[in-house]
């Protein structure tokens, strides 16, 4: 019965002699005896809890797996998704956050990702669009502070992700980090990173908890990376930004019916860990292909971050959309970041591959929106992106000061391309989504797999490296049988420390590789 799509994680809970292993498969939460694998008969329906909400057709997965905090199982997941760029939006199920009793499976509370009547935030959905909006949830990993009893939920973009004329307003809780009381299910605080999103700038990475000291003041912090390339830092008790976050005017849309927010939040610290927006100076200027790149970019609108999607023009010389960084796959994604409690350093991993925000009028008579995004692929020059490398980066940030310490390219790509091989370029970086492991002295990270969509298909590699976590220098490197697909883990057995890496790629089997010093 538990076969089928995985949950990207399992959870182990134990209280005295009572223990259970929790896993989500095919729309059900299973509670198993960790010693025998047998279902816990006292849990829900003989060890199985149906997660498909009433009125929904599916519950496909939890992107981070279940999380247990103070005897409450917190579940998020994908319910009846309408998709990012479809032409329908009405009546799609909201991907709510739910809390269940770990012993019985009883539903304790539901936090509505899209507020309902009488709840905080409904006024941010104009024209009562909250009544029909859904497909908004937490795609990635939850984090929790057990002492506070808070779970931190990173919410995604609203439907549809590239046109919002049907949902005027800021649209809570899209693109928000929300602290929820695990006992009551009530909102403690929230912060919205992107108002009225039309870029799919999700909070798709995990909230990272860590204790920092800023100007002599100890702070229990939560650090949230976003596809925008910023890492937003808050006091995780109160939700107050550690450094000011300013509302700054941004470009407005000329798409009929679209009303963007006049301002967006810009963190003053730390600086972004990826390129934001595109200027002519960001376009590759290498001999021969540089001229082609500039001619290609002339077909698109470019500008600062939050330059809105544009309508495709069929006229000669008309625009083919908005070319921008970050694109809809973002810069920081589910893999960012890692925090070092010894130094207060945060490590972010980003890709810098432009995409196109283009809209066109819908011709489907059943469409519920006037405009939709047919695709967001940006052109390449024989596989080379239009913008300058590095296309994949690792950045270390001192969170006690909010300052970058070092930034290096993650790996190398395309350096043997005929148009690049004679240019004596430094490492160009790999646009992928690798996750890291920190030890007392090292940062372990791979180059990333081609299993993950949204990155350049020929940008992946089998190298796995150990960096000096203080300087970014590569101290050791090896090639694995395939590319890394997840974060490594470490453990000590009989006095020897092991690093275990999950690898696999399209065409290669999934494997574990264990490494250790002689």
Q: How confident is the model at residue 454 (pLDDT cuts 50, 70, 90)?
A: very low
Give the C-alpha separation, 514 to 182, whole Å: 37
Q: Is the pLDDT of residue 61 over 80?
A: no
Strand extents, DSSP E, 80-230: 97-101, 107-111, 143-145, 150-154, 176-181, 187-192, 208-214, 217-225
Separation between Cα atoms, residue 73 and residue 21, nearest integer Å: 12
Domains, the chain, in order of start with CATH, read 434-518 (2.40.10.480)
The token pair that represents 422 in the structure block: 């004679």
Whether the per-residue pLDDT at 359 is higher than 90: the answer is yes
Token pair in block for residue 75: 């579940």
Instruction: State the pLDDT confidence band at 486, using cuts at 50, 70 and 90.
Output: confident
Token pair for residue 249? 């005017």
Return the number of other C-beta atoms located less than 10 Å from residue 286's C-beta: 16
**Closest alpha carbon to 444 in 459, 463, 429, 460:** 463
Is the pTM higher than 0.85? The answer reads yes
What does DSSP assign to residue 43? T
How does pLDDT run across 367-382, given as a tens digit for each residue?
A: 888 999 988 999 999 9
Which residue, among 313, 294, 453, 434, has the nearest Cα to 377 in the 3D structure?
453
* Mean pLDDT, rounded, for 193-215: 95
d(CA 221, CA 211): 6
233-290 tens-digit pLDDT: 999 999 999 999 999 999 999 999 999 999 999 999 999 999 999 999 999 999 889 9
Average pLDDT, the chain: 92
CA angle 332, 333, 335 (to 5 degrees): 105
pLDDT > 90 in the chain, percent = 73
Higher pLDDT, 58 or 424: 424
b/e sequence 447-474, b meaning 16+ C-beta within 10 Å: bbbbbbebbbeebbbbbbbbbebeebee
Least confident segment among 58-67, 125-134, 224-233, 250-259: 58-67
Give Cα 410 distance to the centre of its chain.
18
pLDDT exceeds cutoff 90 at 125: yes
Buried b (16+ CB within 10 A) or exposed e, 99-130: bbebbebeebbebbbbbeeeeebbebbbeebb
d(CA 487, CA 329): 19
Structure tokens at 376: 């967001």
Maximum Cα interatomic distance, the chain, rounded to a whole number of Å: 73
CA atoms within a 13 Å half-sphere pointing along the CA-CB vector of 126: 13
Count, residues in the chain: 518
pLDDT of residue 16: 95
């Amino acid at each position: 019965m538990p076969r089928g799509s995985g949950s990207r994680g399992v959870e182990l809970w134990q209280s005295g002699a009572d223990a259970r292993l929790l896993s989500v498969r095919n729309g059900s939460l299973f509670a198993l005896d960790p010693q025998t694998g047998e279902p816990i008969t006292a849990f829900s329906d003989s060890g199985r809890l149906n997660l498909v909400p009433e009125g929904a057709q599916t519950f496909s997965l939890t992107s981070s797996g279940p999380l247990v905090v103070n005897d409450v199982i917190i579940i998020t997941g994908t319910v009846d998704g309408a998709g990012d760029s479809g032409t329908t939006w009405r009546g799609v199920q909201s991907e709510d956050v739910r809390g269940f009793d770990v012993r019985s499976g009883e539903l304790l509370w539901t936090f509505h990702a899209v507020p309902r009547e009488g709840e905080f935030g409904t006024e941010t959905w104009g024209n009562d669009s909250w009544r029909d909006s859904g497909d908004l949830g937490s795609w990635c990993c939850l984090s929790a502070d057990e002492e506070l009893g808070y779970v931190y939920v990173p919410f995604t973009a609203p439907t549809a992700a590239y046109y919002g004329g049907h949902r005027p307003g800021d649209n809570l809780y899209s693109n928000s980090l929300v602290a929820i009381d695990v006992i009551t299910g009530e909102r403690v605080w929230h912060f919205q990173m992107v108002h009225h999103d039309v870029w799919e700038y999700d909070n798709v990475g995990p909230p990272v908890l860590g204790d920092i000291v800023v100007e002599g003041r100890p702070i229990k912090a939560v650090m949230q990376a976003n596809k925008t390339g910023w890492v937003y830092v808050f006091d995780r008790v109160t939700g107050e930004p550690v450094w000011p976050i300013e509302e700054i005017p941004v470009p407005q849309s000329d798409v009929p019916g679209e009303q963007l927010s006049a301002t967006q939040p810009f963190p003053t610290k730390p600086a972004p860990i990826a390129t934001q927006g595109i200027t002519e100076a960001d376009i590759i200027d290498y001999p021969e292909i540089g001229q082609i790149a500039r001619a290609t970019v002339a077909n698109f609108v470019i500008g600062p971050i939050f330059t809105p999607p544009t309508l495709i023009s069929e006229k000669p010389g008309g625009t083919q959309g908005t070319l921008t960084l970050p694109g809809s796959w973002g810069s920081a994604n589910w893999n960012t970041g890692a925090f070092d409690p010894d130094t207060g350093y945060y490590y972010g991993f980003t890709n810098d591959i432009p995409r196109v925000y283009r809209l066109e009028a819908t011709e489907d008579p059943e469409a519920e929106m006037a405009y939709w995004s047919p695709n967001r692929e940006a052109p390449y020059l024989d596989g080379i992106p239009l913008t300058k490398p590095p296309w994949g980066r690792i950045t270390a940030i001192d969170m006690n000061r909010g300052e970058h310490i070092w930034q290096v390219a993650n790996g190398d790509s395309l350096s043997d391309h005929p148009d690049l091989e004679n240019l004596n370029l430094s490492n160009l970086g790999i646009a992928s989504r690798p996750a890291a492991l920190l030890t007392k002295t090292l940062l372990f990270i791979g180059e990333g797999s081609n299993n993950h969509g949204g990155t350049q298909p020929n940008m992946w590699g089998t190298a796995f490296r150990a960096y000096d976590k203080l300087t970014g220098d590569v101290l050791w490197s090896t090639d694995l049988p395939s590319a890394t697909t997840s974060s490594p883990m470490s453990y000590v057995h009989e006095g020897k420390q092991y690093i275990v890496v999950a690898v696999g790629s399209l065409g290669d089997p999934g494997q574990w590789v264990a490494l250790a010093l002689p």
